[in-house]
Amino acid sequence: MRKCMLTAAAGITMNKIVECVPNFSEGRDEEKIELIVRAIASAPDVFVLDRDMDPDHNRSVITFAGLPEAVVEAAIRAASTAVELIDLNRHTGEHPRIGALDVLPFVPIRGVTMDECVALAHRAGDRIARELRIPVYYYEKAALEPDRTDLADVRRGGFEALRDEITRNPDRFPDAGEAMVHPTAGAIAIAARAPLIAYNINLATQDLSVAKKIARAVRGRDGGLQNVKALGIDLRNRRQVQVSINLVDYQSTPVFRVFEFVRREAERYGVMVAGSEITGLIPQSALNACADFFLRIEDFSEDLILEHRLQKELERAGWTWVDHSEKPVEPEAFKEDESSVPDSRTLDGFANEIAEGAATPDGGSVAAYAGALAAALGAMVCNLTISHRQEVKADVEGVFDQLDQLGADLRLAVEEAAESRMSLEDAIALPRETDGEKLARTFAIEEATKNAIAVPQRVAQSAFGVIELLFELSEVVNPAVLAELASGAQLALAALRGAAYNVLSLLLTINDEELNSTHRVELRDLIVRGHQMAADIEAIFLQVYPIDSIET
């Protein structure tokens, strides 16, 4: 059940926006959740954007946003109300939890840095520990200790285990408050983090072991997809099981890739995907490479999109929507003659831009362009195969749809790679006369470099996805199109390698050892697997067209 509420003073310009997504250990009593929503909405300058109740998880997620200090106040009111209404001693549900208000993440949306959200998280935690006598643990970017970055480590064993260990095990002592759980409200985990997508995939089976095996396969920490956390959950009310997923970096690991991974794993066990669903809201950018029919999202509508809902409520209340990302409109007299601007959407224009020797476009853009061409060759193979082999039409059409999505993502990355490189050049050009300027420049370069890494990393993943799909096609295509298939595989492999080279060169300037290790491990895996599949496709081609029969 989803509802939207609003409280705001009309006419205020909101140029700093923080989102908060508290999770409550109550998903069956609508009256209790309504009271918590009212408590949040009672804080001035806050918008309640969404609520989502799940009886199987016995958990509710409420999404609200507003001015930074107002969001902290609303969070305290939510925690106070949850203490009065929820008793963990009587709580049962599929989802792990340590508190009545179980997790409280602060997310920067507009005009607010991650460091500011960390400060907000610590401020809220100090108040909750002091005013409500609830022990607090900080995780993600707000973590005070490295081994508490991952929420799963903080929440290990749930409320019952924490209740027994918090008083005697120093490793379980809280970051704020007394080493004793609240008798009914337990403890709370508070974070500052990037936007997270809570995305669940429901399977057409009641076999929980299948969901748990797939969750283990897709989980990043167990060798699956990076940036993915997953659990297998029993949906007794629906007579299904679910792979419940938290996607912590949807730009590096797109939603559609997670869906396809789970779908293919399910097929190994003879199980179909029944549908998928979003818990809470999803950023618009996460849907750029997805279509609602492709993901089979249940009850999908624009009101699930965070930015869409927030802008609508702001405008309805008479607030001003300030978008600092939009470029100012230039007067006609200052606009360039469009005929003089190189057209990067044509091969000639793109090649000319590269040859000019400017900082952008660079190798990352070229890798994305190559990957897009590989996807286009794959789409060509699909169309030619469908026209000659109707018996495989359904399977090939599915591959075509995925290649189309990957091609669109790679074409988008051509421009994104250039933009991220320009941002890095801007950071490098910052002044460095004083110690303060030098420090600010160092931080700016590191942040810009991390952002610049995200695009070629995504290109490498998408190029690998193209190779995987071409490998699928190699089993069903007509020999007449094997040349295009093999060419596409080699082109996609070049795109994968080129993107990887870009990432590796940028990683040299990053001091974050964990980030370095994560990217290097994933790239090594993608290159090894991609090379093997491309070689297998080439071997199939050479079986039909042996190299010794080609005249030289």
**Residue positions annotated with a catalytic role:** 95
Torsion (CA) 470, 474, 478, 482 in degrees, nearest 10: 70
Alpha helices (H) in 269-392, listed in sequence order = 292-295, 306-317, 347-355, 363-388
> Is residue 425 a contact partner of residue 464, using CB atoms and an 8 Å limit?
no
Pairwise CA distance, residues 477 & 311, whole Å: 48
Q: Which amino acid is at 136?
A: V
DSSP readout, 161-183? HHHHHTTT-GGG--SBS-SS-BT
Instruction: Please enumerate in sequence order all residues whose Cβ is within 8 A of that of 378, keeping only pairs 6 or more positions apart, or say none.
Output: 399, 403, 466, 469, 470, 473, 485, 488
Q: DSSP letter at 48?
A: E
Q: Which helix (DSSP H) or strand (DSSP E) does residue 1 occupy?
A: none
- The residue whose two tokens read 């005249």 is 551
Query: Helices 114-132 and 68-85, interaxial angle, to 10°?
Result: 40
In the chain, % helix, strand, coil (3-state, to 5) comes to 55, 15, 30
Pairwise CA distance, residues 398 & 404, whole Å: 10
Q: Which amino acid is at 424?
A: L
Taking phi first (over 0 means left), then psi (-120 to 50 degrees means alpha), and beta for anything else, what does residue 227 get? left
Q: Which helix (DSSP H) or strand (DSSP E) does residue 439 occupy?
A: helix 435-473
Pairwise CA distance, residues 456 & 463, whole Å: 10
Query: Could you give the 3-state DSSP secondary structure of residue 196?
Result: coil
Q: Which helix (DSSP H) or strand (DSSP E) does residue 432 occupy?
A: none
- The 3-state secondary structure of 465-517 reads HHHHHHHHHCCCCCHHHHHHHHHHHHHHHHHHHHHHHHHHHHHCCCCCHHHHH
**First-residue to last-residue Cα distance in the chain:** 69
- Can you name the residues that pair with 297 across neighbouring β-strands? 276
Name the residue among 191, 188, 118, 112 with its Cα closest to residue 155.
188
Helices (H) and strands (E) in the chain, counts: 15, 14
> Is residue 421 a contact partner of residue 459, using CB atoms and an 8 Å limit?
no
